[in-house]
Structure 1
Amino acid sequence: MVKLLVFLGNPGKAYARTRHNIGWMVAEHLYPNQSWSEKFHGLVSTALTLKLLKPTTYMNESGRSVRACMDFYGYSAEEILVIHDDLELPYGTLRLQKGGGLGGHNGLKSIKAHAQSDQFSRLRIGIGRPVHGSVASFVLERFTSDEEISLPLVINLAEKMLTDYYSSLPVTNTLV
């Protein structure tokens, strides 16, 4: 059973609406009035029986934050669900899975290394691959204007998938 939701992103206004921050966007949608405290190299909160974590270590060091939280609460990797961007899926495609490949995602690599396991669940939110240019630049760019239009639908789909899969997941702003 999932006890910790980890929303991946980067801190700071410069990253707020970038592709790499889709995890933080989902957190803000699910928990818009949530009070967050600085702890575990991140922002942490509680929603009923779930702990919520937004690492502030920057993406490539997310595992440090996750490990600190795991150690404090005694969680195993199997009790974690990570919400993150995914280059390997087309924009707007979402996939919920446990374990599996990391697709070159440095945040997931860091979590695997620090958790010493890849058996955490993840909600992969497709951002597509760049047609031109580097992947590093692409993930740190804002969504295109067309993508921005459909972004609320993608975030709503993430919410639906999470609530359907984990019926006990406490959320707010559920749209019918």
Structure 2
Amino acid sequence: MYVIVGLGNPGKEYNKTRHNVGFDVIDKIAENNNIDINKVKHKAVIGQGRINNEKVMLVKPITYMNLSGRSLKEIVDYYKVDISKIIVIYDDIDTEVGKMRIRMKGSAGTHNGMKSIIYELVSDKFPRIRIGIGKPEYGKLADFVLGKFSKEQQPLIEEIIDKAADSVEFIIKDGIDLAMNRYNG
């Protein structure tokens, strides 16, 4: 079983913010594959279904971003998930808006949600998809990531959410190496 985790914060006030693009990608994957995300379990809202004939669990942790690892740890322990079959999708300030990057493993960088996941899983060896949100020109980083995309950025972010959702399906079907070759560039 693949566990596909989108990072974000629960609550309407965080909908469509930069920090919640992981949730947005999960919603797009669910829509594309007719998977209902409607069960609250393991400190997350989850949905289960199939993608390319593989069983998948779509996960939106409700622990708030900085504690995302607690939810994922419960899922990994309960279902005995192989870490290589976890795909984490999250926002990245070091990647420009409209770009994404797939990696097989790596550090959390400055992302607190990823720090929590790596800490709880005691590993950084799981695939991840970083969605570019850009950096603030001025002001506090927290205000920036919890803010919404500009009107000019909307088409770019919608396109990259679609592309990220497609890339998850590609990873499941054809593997991470081919996905990196196809989508990174």
TM-score surpassing 0.5? yes
Tell me by how many angstroms 1:129 deviates: 0.7
Q: Which amino acid aligns with 1:92?
A: G
> Which of residues 114, 120, 135 in structure 1 aligns to 2:126?
120
Out of 103, 110, 113, the position equivalent to 2:109 is: 103
Deviation at 1:159, TM superposition (A): 2.1
The structural deviation recorded for 1:151 is 2.2
- Paired residues of 1:61 and 1:110 also in contact (CA < 8 A): yes
Deviation digits for residues 147-168 of structure 1, max 9, x if unmatched? 1132221111112322333227
The answer to whether structure 1 residue 18 and structure 2 residue 31 are counterparts is no
Q: 5+ unaligned residues in a row in structure 1: which ranges? A: 170-176
How many Å apart are 1:75 and its aligned residue?
1.4
State the partner residue of 1:173.
none
For residues 82 and 30 of structure 2, what CA distance do their matches in structure 1 show? 24
Does residue 160 of structure 2 align to residue 160 of structure 1?
no
- How many residues align? The count is 168
Work out the percentage of aligned pairs sharing the same amino acid: 37
Q: Name the CA distance, whole Å, in 2 between partners of 1:84 and 1:31.
A: 16
Contact 1:37–1:44 (CA under 8 A) maintained in structure 2: yes
TM-score with structure 1 setting the length: 0.90
Tell me, yes or no, if structure 1 residue 137 matches structure 2 residue 155.
no
Equivalent residue for 2:48, pick from 46, 49, 62: 46
Higher helix share: 2
Tell me, which stretches of 5 or more residues in structure 2 are unaligned?
176-185
Distance 1:87 1:131 in 2: 11
CA RMSD of aligned residues (A): 1.6
- The 2-side partners of 1:110 and 1:39 are apart by 19
The one-letter amino acid of 1:104's match is T
